[in-house]
Structure 1
Amino acid sequence: MSALAPPPGRTWKVAVLAGMASYLDAGALVTSGIVLGGSYAEVLSLDAGTVGVLLGVQTLVFALGALCGGRLGDLFGRRRVFTLSLLLYAAGTVLLLLASPVWLLHVGVVAVGLAIGADLAASLALVNEESPDGHKGKMVILSNVLWIGGIVAAQGLSAVVGSWGLVGGRIMFAHLLVVAVVVLVLRFTLRESAEWVAARRAVEAPGDAEAVHFSRVGQLFRAPVVFPVVALGAYYATWNLGASTLGSFGTFLWTDLTGGGVAEYSRLSLLGLPIGFLAGLVFMRVVDRPTRRAWFAGGSTLILVAWALPALFGADRFTLIAVLLLSGLGNAFCGEGMYKVWSQELVPTLLRTTASGLTTAFARVVAALAAFGTPTLAQANPALLFWLLLTSTAVACAIGLFWVPRLPKARELEPVPDDGTAERSSPA
C-alpha cells in the first residue's frame, strides 16, 4: 500500500492513547489555574502569593519532568515511562482533589508537573515510531488537536461547576483523574515501540552491521546531532515566548491595557478554540506532504501580523482580539505542532526523547524567566513588550523557514532500526 493510503486502525489507537498526554497536559494546566486561583482560593484561604507559588512550581517541575522523562524514555523505553508517568499523574490529581490540608496541594502540583513533563516526550516518540511513513506527521499533529480538546473540556466543565466552590474544584480534578485512569488502563494494551526495541538490540550487539551510532547523551552536544537540538530549542523557545505570554497574561493584558472584564476575555478566548481545532484537522491532512512548508510560512505570517498590530498601533480591544484570533489560527500550522513533528524527524531513535525533553525544558524555563518581568513591562512600556514578542516570533519564523529545512533527517544520519516485526515502517 502506498504511503498516502489511510493508516491502519492500530496506528490511530496508538496515536490517540499516547496523544492523550497532550489532553491531560492542557487539562491540568487550565484546571489548576481555574481551581487554585478561584474555586479553592477562597475556601482554603489561599493568598495570591501561595497561588503564584503553586502554579509556578508546576511549570518548573514540568521542565524537570521533561528532562528526566526524556532521558529515561531513551534508556528504558517509551511504554514504561508513559505508564509510570501516568500513574504519578493520577496520584497527583488525587492529592489535588483532596485539597486539605494545604500542603497536599504543593505535593500534588509537583507530582502532576513531573508527570506531564515526562509523559509528553515518551508519548510523542511512540506515536512517531509506531506510525507508517507518510502518516507520521499527521499522527503527531493529532496530539495538538487533543491538546485543544483538553482546554475545551476544562473550560466547559468550569462553566458548569466553577461557581460551586470546593465541590466544583474537586469535580474538575476528578475529571482529570477519571480520564487518566481510563487512558492508563487502555495504554496497557499497547506494545513497546518496535523501532526503540530494535535500536536497543543493535546497541547491545555492537558487531551488528546495522548498529546504532547515536545513543550516548554526550552526542547531543556534538555534530551532527547538536545542530537539530540547538535549532529545535531556539525555535521552540522564541515561538513560545509569545504563546506563553498570551496564555499566562492574556487576561491581565486585556483588563489592564484595555479596561475590559475577565469574563469578557474568557468568552473571546473560547472563540479562538474552534478555529484552532478545525485548522489543526486541516493541517493533519497536509503535514506529511511537500506543501507543509507553505502552510508553515502562512501560519507564521499570521502570527507576525498578530503581534505587529499592537506593536505598531498600540494595545486596544481591536488589536488584542486580533492577536487572539490570528495567532490561534496561525499556530495550527507552526509553533508547538511543528516543533513536535521536527523533534521526531530530526533526532535519531535513542536520543529522540532525551532531545525532546531537553529542548522542551529549555523553552519552558525561558518562558518562566520572561514571565517574572512581563506584568511590570506591560504596565511601564506595553509597546516595548509587543515589539519584543514580535522580534522573538520573527526569529522563530526565520529558524523554521531557513535553518530547519537544511538539517539532515534522522534516517539520513543512521538507518531506522528494524527488528523484523515493525509493520509500522510501511502502511498496511
Structure 2
Amino acid sequence: MTRTETFTPAHDAHHWRSTISVAMSNYIEAGSIIAIATSLGFWQTAFHFGNGAAGVLAAFSPNAFGAAIGAILGGPLADRFGRKFIYTYDLLLYMLGMLFVIFAGNTELLFLGFLLAGIAVGAGVPAAWTYIAEVAPDDRRAAHVGTAQLAWSLGPLVGFALAMAVAPLGLLGARLIFAWLFVVALVTWLVRRGLPESGIWAEQRETNKKSITIGFSLKALFTRRVNITALLFLFGVYAFWNTVAGQAGIFMPRVYEASGFTSPIEQDFIQVIVWFCTSLFTWLGFMLLGDRMSRRLLFAIGSVLAIVAWVVLVFSHPSFGVLIFFAIVWGTSAGIGAQAFYGLWTSELFATPYRAGAQGVLFTAARLMVGFLSLWFPTLLATVGLSKLGILIIALLAVSFIVGTMWAPDTRGKSLREIEQERYGEYLETDTAYLRIAKEAGR
C-alpha cells in the first residue's frame, strides 16, 4: 500500500496547512527582493550612493550572496538537525534584519539589514521545499511544491501593489513595506511553532540513531555519481534561469527605465501584471497539470515562453504594448518555469540524507551567479544598453531550456522511496541501505 492510499480528508487538510505555512518562506523571500527593487532608488537618493554601491547592496541581499550564505549553512543543518530546526529559527534572524532596514539611517545599517535578511531566507527556502515535498501525497507532489512557487509569486504581486500605493510617500513608504514583511514573518513564525517534523526525516533518524549521527558533507554529496549528475542537471535548469530572474526581480524597474518608461507607478503596474500572470499560471499550469501531464513538455512550454518574452522586449521598438506583451508572457512562463520544476525535481532526485543539503548547495551556486551579475548589471545597463545585455539574458534562458527539456526525469506519481530505489539501486528504507547512505552523508 502506498502512502497516497492511506490519506484521509483530515490528513490532507493537515498536509495543506503544513505546506502553506512553510511555503511562506518563499513569499517572504520574493517579497523582500521586490521591496528592495522598488525602494533602491529612494535609498540611493537619501544616502547618496552610486550605481556601484546599489549593485553591492543588491548582491548581498536576499536576491544573491546573502541568500547563498544562508543556503549553504541552512541546507546541511536541515539534514543534520531536521527541517523543523531551520524553520523554527530562520525567521527570527529575518525579523532582526528587517528592523535594521526599517530604521536604517545610513548605508551601513541598510547593508547589514539586507545581509541578515538574505541569510535568513537563504536558510529557509531549501528546508521549506524539502519539507513540502516530504509531506506531500505522492500523486500530488507537484501541486504541493507548486504552493511554494505560488507563494513566491504572490510576494511580488503584493509587493508591487503596495509600492504603487505608498509611492507618494517616498522613502517612508519603502520603510512601511519592510514593516509589512516584518509582520508577515512574525505571524508565520508563530504559526510554524506548532508544525511537526517531516515524517520521512524522522523515520530515517529513528532507523539510524543507534548507530550513527545523520548528517551531511560535501564529500559524500560529490563522491556518488548519481548525486553529481543530479547536481549538474539541476544547476543547468535553475542557475541559468535564475540568473536572469534575479536581475529581473530586483533591477526590472531600471530595465523599464532604459525602455523609456520612467514613472515608478507605471513600472510597478507592469510588474503587477507580471506577477499576477505568474500566480495565475502557477495554479492553472504547474499545480493543476504537473501531476497529470508530461513534465518534460510542461517545462519546455514555460522555457520557450520565457525566451520569446525577452526576445520581444530586447529587439522590438519600445512601446507600452511591448511591455504588456512581455509582462504577460514572462509572467506566464515563470508560473510553469524553471523555479517550480527545480523545487520539485531537487526534492525528488536526492536521497533523504542528502536532500536539503543538496538544495543548499544548488541554491548557493544559483545565487552566486545572480550576485556576480548583480554587481555589474546596473552599470552594464547604463553603458552598453538593453539590446546588448539582452543577448546574454536570452543565452542564459536557452541553456536552461536545453538542459531541462533533454534530461527531464520521469518521476511523476512515484513516491520518494521509489525514486530513491531507482536512482540509488536499493530500497533505502531498509536499515542496511540507509545506514550506508547515512554514514557517507555523516562523514
TM-score over 0.5 for the pair: yes
CA gap 1:5/1:277 in 2 versus in 1, 3 angstroms: farther
Q: Tell me the alpha carbon deviations over residues 143-200 of structure 1, each in whole angstroms, 9 at most, x when there is no partner.
A: 1111121112222222233332454333222211111111111101101111111222
The separation in 1 between residues aligned to 2:328 and 2:171, in whole angstroms, is 33
Residue 225 of structure 2 corresponds to residue 221 of structure 1: no
**Which of the residues 55, 61, 72 maps onto 1:67?**
72
Contact 2:76–2:217 (8 Å) recurs in 1: no
Number of aligned pairs?
A: 413
**Which of the residues 308, 321, 331 maps onto 1:328?**
331
Per-residue deviation, 1:50: 4.4
Residue 420 of structure 2 corresponds to residue 410 of structure 1: yes
- The corresponding residue for 2:38 is 34
- The corresponding residue for 1:359 is 362
The separation in 1 between residues aligned to 2:317 and 2:419, in whole angstroms, is 41
- The corresponding residue for 2:266 is 264
Letter in 2 for 1:234: G
CA gap 1:376/1:54 in 2 versus in 1, 3 angstroms: closer
**Which of the residues 90, 93, 99 maps onto 1:94?**
99
Contact 2:90–2:121 (8 Å) recurs in 1: yes
Q: CA-atom RMSD, angstroms?
A: 2.9
Residue 148 of structure 2 corresponds to residue 143 of structure 1: yes
SS of 1:316's equivalent in the other structure is coil
The separation in 1 between residues aligned to 2:254 and 2:46, in whole angstroms, is 23
CA gap 1:255/1:108 in 2 versus in 1, 3 angstroms: closer
- The corresponding residue for 1:296 is 299
Letter in 1 for 2:365: F
Letter in 2 for 1:185: L
- The corresponding residue for 2:129 is 124
The separation in 2 between residues aligned to 1:156 and 1:110, in whole angstroms, is 25
Per-residue deviation, 1:229: 1.0
The separation in 2 between residues aligned to 1:133 and 1:148, in whole angstroms, is 24
Match runs of 1:71-82 below 5 Å: 71-82=76-87
Contact 2:255–2:386 (8 Å) recurs in 1: no
CA gap 1:215/1:228 in 2 versus in 1, 3 angstroms: same
Per-residue deviation, 1:46: 5.4
Moved more, 259-268 or 277-286: 259-268
The separation in 2 between residues aligned to 1:349 and 1:341, in whole angstroms, is 14
Per-residue deviation, 1:29: 1.4
- The corresponding residue for 1:316 is 318
The separation in 2 between residues aligned to 1:398 and 1:348, in whole angstroms, is 26
Contact 1:303–1:326 (8 Å) recurs in 2: yes
Residue 104 of structure 2 corresponds to residue 104 of structure 1: no
Contact 2:160–2:271 (8 Å) recurs in 1: no
Q: TM-score, normalised by structure 1?
A: 0.87
Contact 1:63–1:364 (8 Å) recurs in 2: yes
SS of 1:162's equivalent in the other structure is helix
CA gap 1:226/1:325 in 2 versus in 1, 3 angstroms: same
Identity over aligned pairs, percent: 28
Q: Tell me the alpha carbon deviations over residues 245-299 of structure 1, each in whole angstroms, 9 at most, x when there is no partner.
A: 3333333233224465443332222222222211111121121224333222221
Moved more, 40-49 or 186-195: 40-49
- The corresponding residue for 1:169 is 174
The separation in 2 between residues aligned to 1:308 and 1:51, in whole angstroms, is 27
The separation in 2 between residues aligned to 1:260 and 1:43, in whole angstroms, is 19
The separation in 2 between residues aligned to 1:260 and 1:44, in whole angstroms, is 21
CA gap 1:118/1:285 in 2 versus in 1, 3 angstroms: same
CA gap 1:135/1:47 in 2 versus in 1, 3 angstroms: same
Contact 1:88–1:115 (8 Å) recurs in 2: yes
CA gap 1:177/1:220 in 2 versus in 1, 3 angstroms: same
**Which of the residues 215, 232, 235 maps onto 1:233?**
235
Letter in 2 for 1:178: V
Moved more, 13-22 or 149-158: 149-158
CA gap 1:320/1:35 in 2 versus in 1, 3 angstroms: closer
The separation in 2 between residues aligned to 1:78 and 1:404, in whole angstroms, is 27
Per-residue deviation, 1:80: 0.6
**Which of the residues 247, 252, 255 maps onto 2:257?**
255
The separation in 1 between residues aligned to 2:378 and 2:136, in whole angstroms, is 43
The separation in 2 between residues aligned to 1:37 and 1:260, in whole angstroms, is 12
The separation in 2 between residues aligned to 1:245 and 1:45, in whole angstroms, is 22
The separation in 2 between residues aligned to 1:372 and 1:192, in whole angstroms, is 38
The separation in 1 between residues aligned to 2:186 and 2:358, in whole angstroms, is 28
- The corresponding residue for 1:274 is 276
Any stretches of 5+ residues in structure 1 without a counterpart?
Answer: 420-428
SS of 2:226's equivalent in the other structure is coil
Letter in 2 for 1:28: S
- The corresponding residue for 2:29 is 25
Moved more, 79-88 or 299-308: 299-308
- The corresponding residue for 1:306 is 309
Any stretches of 5+ residues in structure 2 without a counterpart?
Answer: 412-417, 432-443
**Which of the residues 76, 82, 88 maps onto 1:83?**
88
Q: TM-score, normalised by structure 2?
A: 0.84
Contact 1:12–1:139 (8 Å) recurs in 2: yes
**Which of the residues 338, 341, 349 maps onto 2:341?**
338
Per-residue deviation, 1:3: 8.9
CA gap 1:78/1:259 in 2 versus in 1, 3 angstroms: closer
Per-residue deviation, 1:218: 1.5
